[in-house]
Amino acid sequence: MSTLLETIGRLRAEVCALHGELTRYELVVWTAGNVSARVPGHDLMVIKPSGVSYDDLTPESMVVTDLFGTPVNGDPTEGEWGNPALAPSSDTAAHAYVYRHMPEVGGVVHTHSTYATAWAARGEAIPCVLTMMSDEFGGSIPVGPFALIGDDSIGQGIVDTLKDSHSPAVLMQNHGPFTIGKDAKSAVKAAVMCEEVARTVHISRQLGEPLPIDEAAIESLYARYQNVYGQ
């Protein structure tokens, strides 16, 4: 069994590497955006440091916090693991709130990806007009309420919007997408797919009104993809 120190080391490396996927898929610019992961079995999470360039991110620079966003730099029985010189992401409170209130969530991602954020700026859900959306999101991608950064407001909006939805993505109004997953990699996948369908549906609407998919077909496609598809 891995020790807590080993688990945190693995997650810091994983979270650091996943930030490279955000730049690879052009979901972020400059220092915006963040990935976090829950530390299984502990009230801890690993998240990107605030204001650090993507090129300068290392596993050691990933910040460990409790589930209220307070940095935790070690354990009395295992020694130090953190970097007290680095502050966690400005979105840490939102990530932490999600972990406290959605115990099934193991990863959270936030981006300002162009097309998804454009829908968020309109306060408009992305309608389910693609089978890919049925598969990945189980319906439309919903819009969450406008909320100011700095406290639990964004996290509350994420949880309230997603708690009764199949969707692992929410478009926070005037802000941008947040995605969740069973782990950080799953949340990153949801962020990539969210931007892809946001772009495709936007282009479709330039050609005319896209055709909706029947609710029964959406449920059937979602069940197949989630339970049968793949290896």
Indicate which residues carry an active-site annotation: 110, 112, 135, 175, 229
DSSP 21-55: HHHHTT---TT--EEEEEETTTTEEEEPBTT--GG
Give the separation between CA 137 and CA 178, rounded to whole angstroms. 13
Give the separation between CA 138 and CA 61, rounded to whole angstroms. 36
Give the separation between CA 87 and CA 51, rounded to whole angstroms. 9
Between helix 4-24 and helix 184-207 the angle, nearest 10°, is: 20
Which one, of 23, 69, 9, 73, lies nearest residue 45 by Cα?
Answer: 69
Helix/strand/coil for 179: strand
Alpha-carbon distances of 87 from 170, 172, 218, rounded to whole Å: 26, 24, 42
Residues facing residue 36 across a β-bridge: 47, 108
